[in-house]
A and B are shown apart, each in its own frame.
Chain A
Amino acid sequence: MKEDTSFGARPERLRRLFALGIEDADESAPAPAVGSWGLSAEQPGSRIGRYRLLRVLGEGGMGIVYLAEQEHPIQRQVALKVIKPGMDSQRIVARFEAERQTLALLDHPNIAHVLDAGTTEAGRLYFVMEYVQGLPITEHCDRDRVSIEGRLALFGQVCDAIQHAHEKGVIHRDLKPSNILVVVQGGTAVPKIIDFGVARALSRPLAEGALMTEENQLVGTPEYMSPEQVRGGSEAIDVRSDVYSLGVLLYVLLTGALPFDPETLRQGGPDTVRRVLLEEDPKTPSRRLAALGAQGESIAGQRDTEVRTLAKRLHRELEWIPLKAMAKDRERRYRSAAALASDIRSYLNGAPLLAGPPSRSYRIRKFVRRNRTLVAAATVVALALAAGAVVSLTMYVRAQVQAQRQQAVSDLLNNTVLAALDPTRRQGGEITVLSVLDGVSDALEGRFTDAPLMEAEIRHRLGMTYYRQGAHDVGARHLQRALDLRRQYLGEDDLATIDSLFELGNVHRRRGHPHEGQPLLLEAVARRTRLLGEAHDKTLYAKTILATNCVALGRHGEALRLCQEVLETARRAGGEERSAAILAAYRIGTVHALRGNYPEAERWIDGALRSARRVLGEDHSWRGTFTDALGWVYLLQGRFAQSEQLLTEAVSHESRVFGAAHPYTLLSVETLVGLYVAWDRPEEASKWRARLAAAKSADAGSLAGSLHHDAQKNAYAIRGCGMDIYDVFDEFHFAHKTLRGDGSITARVDQIQNTDSWAKTGVMIRRTLDPTSEHASVFITPTGVVTFHYRQVPRGAGFSRHGAVGPVALPHRVRLTRRGATFTAEHSADGVAWQEVRSGDPNQSGPVEIAMDEAVRVGLAVTSHHVGRVAEAHVSGVALTGVVAPEGPFTLSEDIGLQTITPSQSRPVRVP
């Protein structure tokens, strides 16, 4: 058996080893009588681990809870829950351990800590929790005849605690009165939530929140389960599931009865549960109370009031709150526990509520359905307004006092924007924002030849709108034209000209041409500093974007410097809450992540995310990007559960704000695929990748790669498709041979066709053909950017270094050399003078160390960076040194990546 090292072990485990060396060695568990193997040995008085069982506290569906005493290193009483046999203990402990890091972050007066977990001698799973001596919240309130106000106050505290947990990334999933105990400390009632993390650890991995355990036992408490938990399946459970449970709890606290009859649920079995919870609407609290008849009197008594008063209070506004929290469609629930708590407080203060009466939303929904086209049209016009066309134009026009112009503008709008909606004029085709923009774009041609500045204004707005829709190339064209016009008619130092200058630089960055963007951004920053001052919002923002562009060029040090300057300036000018400062903080975080400095990265990005949500609002577009980045940093650290949380949140946010098929959303989906690959969940990875493929338009024709060798010219045409070569796994087409020991591969890239600017082709040395394998590669993109890509650990993060020298012209040569575990990347224009592929960051240059086997794969690679499209590269002058087999030209090539994995046959990956 391989010897273990304690190095790298989690601190708690290392601690247990030390504790082992201190405790009295004679006290280890005496061997029990042989006959009792396998049977429960847990009796009060016996020991489990370092806990001595005192008495039974209670028994539930999942197991027995004991009161136990802990001796080492502190003496205290704990609640120890032993889970029934039959649940897969080892796996669950492993899952629980994964949760524990997160759970350790929970620090709230109303949350009981889960302290420990393990297995007994007999192999049964146990959890150790803070011992909370109290009654379930519903019982406590009834016994003490707590008033409505009192109940709401307690409930508010519970919401705050849940919010705290949600912010730390933990969802309870099993909120119910028996998990919320009220302790009376010094005359005050303090609610304590217990059993965090337990439900998650016990549920079946793929069917999150499914009703059944392995043994087909009903898990969870159906009365409190959210519809999505009941539905099971692939939907990710998010914080709103807890909000639902809280809603049910509030319902019970207010009315003394459950929204759905528990007898019906329990007797009917899972199908009934599903039907009732997914389809039936609960009776409103006031009606429920009325239906209870005589019992209503005692219920009211328990709330220290009369039936009539209670009914009236409920009917007016109070009952809307639990009903909103319990909405079947989670989009319509409170977004967070904090929002729920806030509405409660609003109610207590007499302020208006977020929740509305059920009938109102019903009416709105009906209206929308009946007037869909009208609503759509209104949206599009609003869009055009948002694009600012009308506002600035009318202002300009007013200055000119030209009635004719006004007519021209309204003609423009009438004929284009609104015509796009008119089915008779539209000639079929969907109404999309892009098609409307295209209509406006076409209409512009030749219309404003005598009003160049108006044309410039419209083109500027149009370019921006295209850009925001992800159509970068088109947007760039319009912005370029706007810039040219403004330079000509307004001059270089006009603020409007500089606006176009800046936006164009930004778009170039976004479309993958950072070298083109750099001079524009530099100029924009310089001019704005001079004209507006260094502390102006627009200057700071431009500087932050310039920093981002530097990152794209690999110039990390410079990017950091610029961002620090932005923060400094903002701080001096008295406001770190300005959006440029928030963005700068985020940018610093991402640079740290790129450098592998994850704790720093997390600190900065998390901070920026919080600021953004607080200052800019929950629906600001940056929230999605920042959340995605933070999820990515967690992924790189192997904190998969937390990463999943954030990335799915990012995807859902971006789907909502941008659209499910928007490029930003799809970027987050790509990261999510990477997460599932790293987490070794190939089914989920494939599922999300399929969604990616569905969203990106797939051209007709084969998406499989191919290799063709022209013997006369000794050149190759290699075609391939795939997501990219970067991050946790690669997708590309690979022509390869075997290399033993040291060696090198050189190639001349002549041309790359039909692609994204991020497509790439070049040479690669790879340990195995697995998509998550280690590799070192030198690539060129169609825009002539030379990069050194590598992955040092299977399923680990991939890194890349961009050339610091400007883009090269094709044809261009690349070379990759292996000496032992050292890989060197070089490039050359003429094949004579070679230089290393340098990074823009002097701290990250030079050869890279990657441990591989003696025999590795060496060859040519191409990827299209586009799930639905194939890129074709032409490569010649291929030369190999070292012990390479077979001889002769490349003949063997294949597709590598997730697209070739079907869920049933994931390739095994060697775990580092």
Chain B
Amino acid sequence: MGGACEAFLTTQWSLIGGIQAADTRDKALIGVLIERYWKPVYCYLRRKGYPNEEAKDLTQGFFHAVVLNRGFVGRADPSKGHFRTFLLHALNQYVINESVKETAGKRIPKDKLVPLDPLDPPEVPAAVLEAGPEDCYHYAWMSALMDQVLATVRLGCRDEGLETHWHLFQEKVVGPILHGVAAPSLADLGARYGIADPRQVSNMIVTVKRRFRSVLREHVRTTVLADEQVDDELSEILRFLPEIAQDSRKTRDILLP
């Protein structure tokens, strides 16, 4: 079982680049994991009922445990090879262990932890909150992933001088989807950005869209064990997301007297 874990961590690790000393390396790895994956873990813990401070502590403690104590993760149930579900199983295990440890007072002391950015607790929409902690985790994961993808695309465009491309994509595609409003027409956008031909506007948007697509696949790739699993994971994400609204309905109906 350590194999899959190693593989994942190596993939994550490969994103950072080489650092020599062992403990700096571990610390850097923890830092990367936290930065990428703290939101889903935190949301899971909050939804489980832990208040803000404790959830933060546990989040940090968890990532430390994952990296420093490979044996701990090894006990987690090997999933199909998607890091997302893999981490959740490990998290489940961790929470159980921690509630045992709490009485023994054996947590990692606070000053030894890699710091968690003191960001505001992220807002999870009501429909998601109605579902259980695990669904919150998955939602937060997917949303954090999407944010990372958008950020990568945005920075990539900026680095290559394609700022306008990005803005067009943002206004025509991303913004309207996120806010649920009508997109401006190609003609309007063209007028605002000084591009005469709406067809050109359309092409510029398509360029970014292609890029978005490949970046999304790249990011998902780092969370699975093989190329073939990327589509699998994406399909799972698509299947999961609308299901949230339905799941909560199910739960309520079961509980009605």
Contact = CB atoms under 8 A, between A and B. Distances in A.
Interface string A80-93: 00000000011001
A14 interface: yes
A606 B252 CA distance: 9
Contacts of B256: 606-607, 610
Contacts, number: 157
B144 interface: yes
Contact of A843 (B51, B170, B255, B257): B51
Contacts of A16: 177
Contact of B122 (A4, A8, A576, A638): A8
A155 B137 CA distance: 45
B73 interface: no
Contact of A21 (B217, B244, B248): B217
A31 B202 contact: yes
A123 interface: yes
Nearest to B43: A7
Nearest to A122: B185
Contacts of B13: none
B66 interface: no
B157 to A, nearest CB: 12
Contact of B234 (A9, A22, A30, A107): A22
A167 to B, nearest CB: 11
Interface in A664-718: none
A599 to B, nearest CB: 5
A90 B173 CA distance: 16
Interface in A1-37: 1, 3-22, 25-26, 28-31, 34, 37
Interface residues of B, number: 65
B122 A73 contact: no
B200 to A, nearest CB: 8
Given A11-B244, A17-B146, A73-B238, A28 B202 contact: yes
B238 A19 contact: yes
B238 to A, nearest CB: 6
A122 B182 CA distance: 10
Interface in B123-138: 123-130
A37 B238 contact: no
B67 interface: no
A368 interface: no
B128 A11 contact: yes
A21 B143 contact: no
Interface in B102-155: 120, 122-130, 139-140, 142-144, 146-147, 149-151, 154
Given A21-B149, A123-B185, A28 B209 contact: yes
A69 to B, nearest CB: 19
A20 B177 contact: yes
Contacts of B95: none
A126 to B, nearest CB: 11
A592 B189 CA distance: 48
A610 B257 contact: yes
Interface residues of A, number: 59
Contacts of A576: 257
A637 B175 CA distance: 24
B143 A6 contact: yes
Given A123-B182, A603-B255, A10 B212 contact: no
B205 interface: yes
Nearest to A6: B146
Quick one: which of A15, A94, A577, A607 has the most chain B CB within 10 A? A15
Contact of B216 (A10, A21, A122, A638): A21
A169 to B, nearest CB: 13
A610 B126 CA distance: 22
A600 to B, nearest CB: 10
Contacts of B122: 7-8
A4 B242 contact: no
B123 A7 contact: yes
B19 interface: no
A3 B202 contact: no
B126 A598 contact: yes
Given A18-B142, A34-B198, A93-B181, A10 B238 contact: no
Interface in B241-257: 241-242, 244-246, 248-249, 252, 255-257
Quick one: which of B174, B198, B241, B245 has the most chain A CB within 10 A? B241
Interface stretch (A97-105, A505-513, A859-867): A97-105
B162 to A, nearest CB: 16
Nearest to A118: B182
Contact of A4 (B126, B174, B201, B245): B174
A18 B177 contact: no
B167 interface: yes
B39 interface: yes
Quick one: which of A20, A29, A73, A122 has the most chain B CB within 10 A? A20
A568 interface: no
B182 A119 contact: yes
B187 interface: yes
A912 to B, nearest CB: 9
A545 B147 CA distance: 49
A611 interface: yes
Interface in A102-158: 104-105, 107, 118-119, 121-123
B75 interface: no
A721 B149 CA distance: 53
Given A29-B202, A599-B130, A11 B241 contact: yes
Contacts of A328: none
A93 B149 contact: no
A598 B124 CA distance: 12
A481 interface: no
Contacts of B125: 8-11
Contacts of A204: none
Given A15-B242, A21-B213, A94 B127 contact: no
A637 B198 contact: no
B36 to A, nearest CB: 14
Contact of B142 (A1, A8, A14): A14
A7 B154 CA distance: 17
Contacts of A10: 125, 127, 180
Contact of B123 (A8, A90, A599, A602): A8
A25 B142 CA distance: 21
B100 interface: no
Contacts of B147: 5-7
B146 A14 contact: yes
Interface in A530-562: none
Interface string A316-346: 0000000000000000000000000000000
A598 B129 contact: yes
B165 to A, nearest CB: 14
B206 A18 contact: no
Contacts of A19: 238
Contacts of A851: 120
A487 interface: no
Contacts of A907: none
Contact of A18 (B124, B126, B238): B238
B199 interface: yes
Given A10-B125, A25-B210, A1 B171 contact: yes
24 contacts: A1-B170, A3-B151, A6-B146, A6-B150, A7-B122, A9-B125, A11-B139, A17-B174, A17-B177, A18-B216, A19-B238, A21-B149, A28-B202, A28-B205, A37-B187, A93-B182, A104-B245, A107-B249, A121-B186, A123-B182, A577-B257, A607-B256, A607-B257, A843-B51
| The 9 nearest A-B residue pairs measured at CB | A119-B182, A21-B216, A15-B241, A31-B199, A8-B123, A6-B146, A25-B210, A11-B244, A31-B202
Interface of B: 39, 51, 120, 122-130, 139-140, 142-144, 146-147, 149-151, 154, 167, 170-171, 173-175, 177-183, 185-187, 198-199, 201-202, 205-206, 209-210, 212-213, 216-217, 234, 237-238, 241-242, 244-246, 248-249, 252, 255-257
Given A8-B122, A21-B149, A603-B255, 11 more contacts: A4-B150, A7-B122, A7-B123, A11-B139, A20-B173, A20-B212, A25-B209, A37-B185, A607-B255, A611-B257, A637-B126
